Amino acid sequence: MLRYWTAGESHGKTLIALVDGFPAGVTVDTDAIDVELKRRQGGYGRGGRQRIETDKVDVRTGIWHGVTLGSPIALEVVNRDYKLERLDDLPRPRPGHGDLTGAMKFLGSIRGVLERASARETAVRVAAGALAKQLLAAFEITVFGYVTEVGGERIEPIEGTLDEQRSIRDQSELYGLNLDRDPAIKALIDRTGKDGDTLGGIIEVRVDGVPFGLGTHAQWDRKLDGRLAQAVMAVQAIKGVEIGMGFEAARRPGSQVHDPIHYDESKKDTPNLGYTRPSNNAGGLEAGMTNGQPIVIRAAKKPISTLAKPLESVNLDTKEPVEASYERSDVCAISAASVIVENVVAFEIACAVVDKFGGDSLSEMLGRYEMFLKMARER
């Protein structure tokens, strides 16, 4: 079983991800992980914290001469803005954060909750996902995330190859797939910031090169769509997830939802084994398993909860009405969220690949993968 845990606080000394069950024999490119960490810090509408931090990964355990050993891998991202011991508590809980609920749950401080609840923790989730992508690359599986909506303004993707779309996304300050939409949406973010408000948006992630049979129908907690939904919903500020057509499928008759099955002999040597679909409303998943089509998953991110013009709150000591506390924050972090969601999806796909094809070493997994494809073609 491939899995990971994280540790660390927003303004603590460091952040750590401990990855367990990662197969031996994978060459680790830390520069590629650092690229993802830098992307997470970018995007239009970010706050001052990103000018302080310069996130880079340090692989502390689990590799020898740059190659994984099969033992636990500790990934560290150090906080340059370490000041936790100098910070005071917040007396006024902020609506939308875990301030009030956490203080009540633990019968303690708001600070003790907000430091761990902060999205700063996602830096090492991105590092873990970027490591997982290096395993997926051996199977020619790619994971690609981008922004499709900001504050109700749609960014219609420009069609193109994966490389063409990646080039567009990487030129965009919004991480969208239509550069013509950037100026208007950046202006919207600027106006929103001047009003002391914040914006959310919608992210889409596409996974290509996926074979049949990742996940299973046999138990509810092993269905891949459920595991993906949990991983994405566990990202801070994500309030909704849909796969494929998603909620729109509930509004249409079955004949307009389900994807017909065709067979193309010329594609039998691809991961879809020649079974093609004229549509992909299922988003690559049926009965909790991959069906050989691209996985498509979307996430809805709420606006950031910390407002420069605070909402009404209550002083926890006096119980008197007050404005909520304010701490340094972003106006819009949807671009960063797209990087986070992309990488948590990548890690879950890697988990499913390890589950399906064994996990002691990469060479063993690749052998089992090729054997599975051969047997499936002959079925």
Residue 50 has pLDDT above 80, yes or no: no
**Residue written as tokens 């948006």?**
201
- Please give the pLDDT value at position 309: 92
What are the backbone dihedrals phi and psi of residue 30, each rounded to the nearest 5 degrees, phi first?
-70, -25
- CATH value at residue 226: 3.60.150.10
What pLDDT, in 10s, does the model give residues 274-309? 999 999 999 999 999 999 999 999 999 999 998 999
Q: Are 143 and 346 in contact (CB under 8 A)?
A: yes
**Residue written as tokens 């809805």?**
300
Reduce the DSSP state of residue 84 to 3 states and report it.
helix
- Please give the pLDDT value at position 227: 98
User: Which residues span the domain enclosing 152?
Assistant: 3-378
Average pLDDT over residues 144-148: 98
Nearest to 108 by CA among 97, 99, 117, 95: 99
> DSSP of 291-333, one letter per residue?
ESSPEEEEEEEPPPS--SSPPEEE-TTT--EEEPP--S--SB-
Choice between 276 and 52, residue whose per-residue pLDDT is larger: 276
Residue 45 has pLDDT above 70, yes or no: yes
- Please give the pLDDT value at position 52: 65
Query: Does 118 show up as a binding residue in the annotation?
Result: yes
Average pLDDT over residues 63-84: 96
Given CA atoms 47, 49, 53, 58 in this order, what sign does their dihedral have? Answer: negative
- Please give the pLDDT value at position 224: 98
- Please give the pLDDT value at position 359: 77
Residue 229 has pLDDT above 80, yes or no: yes
Strand partners, 322: 313
Query: Does 33 show up as a binding residue in the annotation?
Result: no
Query: Does 117 show up as a binding residue in the annotation?
Result: yes
Burial per residue of 75-106, b for 16 or more beta-carbon CB atoms within 10 angstroms, e otherwise: bbbbbeeeeeeeeeebebbbebbbbbebbeee
- Please give the pLDDT value at position 295: 98
Query: Does 49 show up as a binding residue in the annotation?
Result: no
- Please give the pLDDT value at position 326: 85
Residue percentage of the chain with pLDDT more than 70: 98
- Please give the pLDDT value at position 327: 77
Query: Does 302 show up as a binding residue in the annotation?
Result: yes
Rounded CA separation 301/148 (Å): 11
Residue 329 has pLDDT above 90, yes or no: no
Average pLDDT over residues 77-84: 93
pLDDT bucket at 349, cuts 50 / 70 / 90: very high
What pLDDT, in 10s, does the model give residues 252-273? 999 999 999 999 999 999 999 9
- Please give the pLDDT value at position 51: 65
Query: Does 127 show up as a binding residue in the annotation?
Result: no
Confidence (pTM): 0.96
Nearest to 55 by CA among 77, 32, 33, 29: 77
What pLDDT, in 10s, does the model give residues 92-125? 999 999 999 999 999 999 999 999 999 999 999 9
Residue 20 has pLDDT above 70, yes or no: yes
| Overall number of domains in the chain | 1
Mean pLDDT of the chain: 96
Query: Does 236 show up as a binding residue in the annotation?
Result: yes
Residue percentage of the chain with pLDDT more than 90: 94
Query: Does 303 show up as a binding residue in the annotation?
Result: yes
